[in-house]
Structure 1
């Protein structure tokens, strides 16, 4: 399946769950860095008070959300960068924030990019993940993922043993209804999930023994 079809083939919350266990990679030009997606957040566009496109807000800063399905929306807060992918049809500004990955490729370089951080601290948050990948600008904002150094493997994935749906992070100050929507998804017990406490870590990292 191609990216545009995939990112418009189902409701955004369903796609956010299907992304769990898929390999996200970044090609630095020298090596491939990346890992398995373990945490996503769905943002449902113009009606979602927690979305950057709420009310149809549109500017050069969030234009990526209005692109065709599979367009990258990379934004920054302070010194950190965040990785979103637009979903649904062009001009229907919904998207998915990739919050964390379980590192599997180029781990040594990612540790260098994170100034020696190891274990879950390497990539257990959206800003940490992008820093680990070496992303220091919005250079690929508004680009279609298939035309960028980023890739998501749509041919196979690890299967979560149990997917947890929870409230999104950092939006409690907004509309109580939307802040309370359970639109953040992750495999139960995966240590690389941004809010996962050590006592809940699972030996299988939250994956089934078999995958497809």
Structure 2
């Protein structure tokens, strides 16, 4: 197995692992918030919101960042692309919506719930988040709906350094988030900008001429 294929598989592995972690933490938030909502015990309610805040900052948000980062890198650096296939495009849109909702809606509400207690909307939101990630996993397996417009020849697969950067950058951002207690995906964002800027200059031919079945991109 050549170096590029090995690191590409590691990127796919990290994407799957972080996506599963994102979904698991969304489900954990749903359980904790619903427990706090259903109880009349102030201590239980306070514990549920405190643990929800910690889970969101230290686990859910970092996993979401790594999942989104590796997914974008795989789309940018493989023949799947962003807009060639409907299922990839739908995954991309769902990811952007999830990130926006998590960063600008759910996280601030969790901060507020530390004072006022959980609300039903938070339980619904976390359940929808987990369901959306499960739907994205189904899209990756089923790959429905076909190409966007007329079928075009796939783009090139990126060089090995792109997948090395995806794996090491994702792990570095995850480790930094665990140390700081909150995500700070500056490295991931910088790597995405670099890859998108240079991807048109790649001359490496796609392995096998087209994406391999069963790959998540």
Same fold (TM over 0.5): no
By percentage of residues, which structure has more helix?
Answer: 2
Of structures 1 and 2, the one with the larger relative CO (CA 8 A, separation 6+) is: 2
By percentage of residues, which structure has more strand?
Answer: 1
